[in-house]
Amino acid sequence: MEPYKVLVWGDSIARQNEVPWPESCRYSFEVSCFCGRVVEFINIAQCGLAAVHGQNYFEEKVRPVQPDLVVIQFGFNDMRHDTAHNGAPVDMPDQYEEAMCNMIRNARSTGAEVLVLGNHNFSFGALRLYPTGLNGDETVDVYRKRAERAAEKEGAAFINMAEVLENQGLDPRQATCDGCHLSPDGVRVYAITVGNFILKRLLAL
């Protein structure tokens, strides 16, 4: 039987750890959740990548894989204000939503199912003020809601990781190691959450 291919399309949330959550998820399918079909992870996540740029990876890095499931998560870099963008975020919420829709639509055109992950909150979110006048948590929520709306529009599944972490008793200070990137506990929750989603799909085949 061919492996069940999971492609992870995102930013440093899926990349910047000694053992990123996709690798942790892959390992769990090998040692504790194997159900008769190998689960292969292809992680094309890239540190610093925003959705408006990540959408351009489809032809080169997504289509050739012909994945069974594509997991998409962007947002933290999209909301970032830097000197290259004259006081504006890397991409505005409307641009972000459009890019997310494009990625979902393109991924589904390969026959893949799509899961969109809504970002967790910053550990310092209520303290940091953005040039828009919103604080960090409010800004994350704006982009998270746009990700959810894109998923709804394009027929993708959506999981709000802020809610998942909260339900597991982890506040952002515990779920992150530097206020944004995942701590070991955050990695575990991400890996288990996505792993459960995959296992349900495998058991239904």
Residues 6+ apart with CB under 8 A from 113: 68, 69, 70, 156, 157, 201
Write down the pLDDT at residue 96: 97
Q: How confident is the model at residue 31 (pLDDT cuts 50, 70, 90)?
A: confident
Q: Which long-range contacts (CB under 8 A, 24 or more apart) does 95-99 make?
A: 95/52, 96/50, 96/51, 96/52, 96/143, 96/146, 96/147, 97/146, 97/147, 97/149, 97/150, 99/51, 99/52, 99/54, 99/55, 99/74
- Determine the pLDDT at residue 187: 97
Q: pTM (2 decimals)? A: 0.96
Whole-angstrom CA distances from 15 to 9, 155, 184, 187 are 10, 26, 13, 11
In tens, the pLDDT along 166-189 reads 999 999 999 999 999 999 999 999
